[in-house]
């Protein structure tokens, strides 16, 4: 018997046109379970919250938390995990690219004892060439530098046991890269594969700049390898500079007639060393920025309104 409580947590940002289609596909699937649906409106400036409230008027299992402003997808998920009461907690986006029809299969794997069940993309035919290539590079790059392996072709569509969510809620850091934190815990894991669908309505909120920031957040949250790379670059440029000194001395004293002195080599050398220095300073600055945020210890998010919570 389905005596457990299923929590479905859904971060939303400017998704008013996707709310009604989401309910039409999601509710028939989860109605056979004891469930709650927790929406976290991440500072939308359209009628997203209004559309959710229309549905919630007649269903106390539909709950809403509204942020004062936009705090980001990971903070919205963090908030939802804090308020979720389920025995298993499933996170889902509202754009219907990740089909809710595989939820029963994910629940069955959880019943078999798996604490983390990922929804893994089998095909990404709906994504453009640039999106697919950048996603592939993202996983290769982050797994090359991160000390914690991040599963490939999985997003935030996953089902977690309540023990995993309790563990996530206890973690104190403000920089939340949840894909890495879930993987870092080392919980028993399984996968359900699916074919990614087209976004139902609207434009994706993950621009290239946001994806780049997301990758940097993940790398610097789980590895100090970039700092070690900075040391490597420093030694490399130092060695090149030392070899340049030897070359200049030999040329000056032994091949003075054919030795050409010009500004080109000096310009290239300064630009190369300057570039390495700026990269190194940027890497160090990224880690210092994280320390700064942790020391400030400000709230992860600010709640404007709650409904049925």
Q: How confident is the model at residue 262 (pLDDT cuts 50, 70, 90)?
A: low
Write down the residue that tokens 């040391």 correspond to: 231
Q: What is the pTM of this model?
A: 0.79
**pLDDT value, residue 206:** 60
- Which pLDDT tens digit goes with each residue over 109-120? 999 999 999 998
Is the pLDDT at 56 greater than 80? The verdict is: yes
**pLDDT value, residue 255:** 64
Is the pLDDT at 260 greater than 60? The verdict is: no
- Which pLDDT tens digit goes with each residue over 124-172? 565 666 666 766 777 777 777 777 777 777 889 999 999 999 999 999 8
**pLDDT value, residue 124:** 59
Is the pLDDT at 64 greater than 80? The verdict is: yes
Q: How confident is the model at residue 258 (pLDDT cuts 50, 70, 90)?
A: low
| Mean pLDDT confidence for 176-184 | 88
pLDDT above 70 as % of the chain: 84
143 and 135 Cβ atoms separated by less than 8 Å: no
**pLDDT value, residue 280:** 82
Q: What value does the mean pLDDT of the chain take?
A: 84
Fold of 5-205+299-307: Spore Coat Polysaccharide Biosynthesis Protein SpsA; Chain A (3.90.550)
- Which pLDDT tens digit goes with each residue over 202-232? 566 566 666 677 777 777 777 777 887 777 8
Check residues 148 and 189 and name the one with the higher pLDDT.
189
Calpha distance 70→275 (Å, rounded): 34
Kindly report which listed range (69-73, 110-114, 231-235, 265-269) carries the lowest average pLDDT score. Answer: 265-269
Check residues 307 and 144 and name the one with the higher pLDDT.
307
């Amino acid at each position: 018997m389905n005596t457990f409580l299923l929590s479905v947590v859904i971060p939303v940002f400017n998704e008013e046109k996707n709310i009604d289609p989401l309910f039409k596909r999601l509710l028939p699937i989860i109605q056979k379970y004891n469930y709650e649906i927790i929406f976290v409106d991440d500072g939308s400036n359209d009628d997203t919250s209004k559309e959710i409230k229309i549905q919630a008027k007649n269903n106390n299992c539909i709950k809403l938390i509204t942020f004062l402003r936009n705090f980001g997808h990971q903070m919205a998920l963090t908030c939802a995990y804090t308020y979720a009461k389920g025995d298993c907690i499933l996170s889902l986006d509202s754009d219907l690219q990740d089909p809710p029809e595989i939820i029963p299969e994910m629940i069955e794997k959880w019943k078999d004892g798996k604490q983390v069940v990922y929804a893994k993309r089998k095909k990404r035919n709906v994504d453009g060439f640039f999106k697919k290539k950048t996603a592939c590079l993202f996983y290769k790059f982050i797994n090359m530098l991160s000390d914690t392996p991040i599963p490939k072709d999985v997003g935030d569509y996953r089902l977690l046991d309540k023990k995993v969510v309790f563990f996530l809620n206890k973690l104190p850091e403000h920089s939340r890269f949840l894909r890495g934190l879930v993987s870092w815990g080392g919980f028993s894991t399984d996968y359900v594969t699916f074919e990614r669908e087209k976004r139902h309505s609207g434009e994706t909120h993950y621009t290239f700049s946001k994806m780049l920031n997301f990758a940097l957040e993940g790398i610097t949250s789980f590895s100090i390898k970039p700092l070690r790379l900075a040391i490597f670059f420093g030694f490399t440029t130092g060695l090149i500079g030392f070899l340049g000194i030897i070359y200049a001395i030999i040329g000056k004293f032994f091949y003075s007639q054919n030795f050409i002195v010009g500004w080109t080599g000096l310009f290239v050398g300064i630009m190369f060393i300057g570039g390495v220095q700026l990269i190194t300073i940027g890497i160090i600055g990224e880690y210092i920025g994280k320390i700064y945020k942790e020391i400030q210890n400000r709230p992860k998010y600010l709640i404007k309104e709650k409904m049925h919570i």
